[in-house]
Structure 1
Amino acid sequence: MSTAAGLHEAPLKDPVLVAATLGTGLMAGLYLAFDVAVMPALARREDERFVAAMRRANDALDDNAAFGTLFLGVFMATGVAARRLARADRSDAARQARAAAVLYGLSVVVTICANLPLNRRLRTAPGTSAAALAAARKAYERPWRRANAVRTAACLGALALLGDTARRRAAVRTR
């Protein structure tokens, strides 16, 4: 087996690490899309359209089993990958995977403690008057964006660690 072929084949021998890496990338991409596209586009909309769009987006994600499975499955896969690496006596790789699990875990905690409560408050915000919608938006937009930026950074950090772990595993297997 050539080195180039080995670099492409070896990471696939650890499907849990691959799943953790790909899932983390998907979650980072989702959060980043909100940071760089969705929220800036909605920021230019009037309060009524902003609130309505965020309510619809949040409802779509809340009712989506695939999203929930990915959201929690990534955390579990990263932890399992770290444990498997530790059992295989790959302490450096296990350490990186544990750090990735901590970073991804931070994104889970931020989601549960910040984003979801903000989403619920926006969903149940009383009133349809311009003043009520402006107040709901003001209480939501900036804190939600800050929390989302934290989740994005945490997921990107976890992705970098998992990608490096997979790369290193591939390099070791081809020697």
Structure 2
Amino acid sequence: METIRLASLIVAIVTMGMVSGLFYSFAVAVMPGLKSTDDRTVIEVMQRINVAILNGWFVLGYLGAFLFTTLALALHITPGSRDVLPPLIAALVCYVVSMGVTNKVNIPLNNALEKAGPVARISDPAAVRRAFEGPWVRANIWRTLLCTASVGFLAWALCLHGQTR
């Protein structure tokens, strides 16, 4: 059982790190890189990214972070592991809030961008970009911070886990 508890923590950290890194990459590279491009380029690139990202590797990280953090928490609800619970709970709460931001802000904005249609047929690409870019970037910064905090809490839990053995 001890090996399973430890493994769940490690896999939770890895998958959470994958998601945190993905959001961080958008915050520090992708969106700043697109900022200086024209409206149609931003729309086309983000439409393509929104299609490409829906793959098994993304699902592994995105859902895996939730599932393995939840599993680690459930496996540590034992008398000898209670010190690990506060950072595990904090990690899970941060990630659930991040998922909420994604579901309430980023996904609807992605869907609206897709509904705008092929970029060549958009009559006012500046308006489409304005409606998308600012809110999406702000929400992405929040989910980046939340996921990064979650990684930190999971690392803290791993340290505490090692101390209780």
SS in structure 2 at match of 1:90: helix
- The 1:11–1:152 alpha-carbon spacing in structure 2 relative to 1, beyond 3 Å, is farther
How does the TM-score come out when normalised to structure 2?
0.91
Whole-angstrom distance in 2 between the partners of 1:15 and 1:88? 19
TM norm structure 1: 0.86
Percent identity of equivalent pairs? 33
SS in 2 for 1:89: helix
Task: Tell me the equivalent position of 1:109.
Answer: 100
Task: Pick one of 124, 138, 150 that aligns with 1:146.
Answer: 138
Gaps of 5+ in 2: none
Equivalent runs, 1:2-13 vs 2, <5 Å: none
Superposed CA RMSD? 2.0
Q: How far apart in 2 are the matches of 1:99 and 1:65?
A: 27
1:129 shift after superposition: 5.7
2:81 and 2:164 in contact (8 A); partners too: no
Counterpart AA for 1:14: L
- Name the residue aligned to 1:43: 35
Preserved CA contact (<8 Å) 1:16 1:80: yes
Q: Which residue of 2 aligns with 1:83?
A: 74
Q: Secondary structure at the match of 2:80?
A: coil
User: Would the aligned equivalents of 1:99 and 1:161 in 2 still touch at CA under 8 Å?
Assistant: yes
Match of 1:53 in 2: 45
Correspondence 1:157 to 2:149? yes
Q: Which residue of 2 aligns with 1:95?
A: 86
**CA separation of 1:131 and 1:160: change in aligned 2, threshold 3 A:** same
Structure 1 portions without partners, runs of 5+? 1-9
User: Which residue does the alignment assign to 2:8?
Assistant: 16
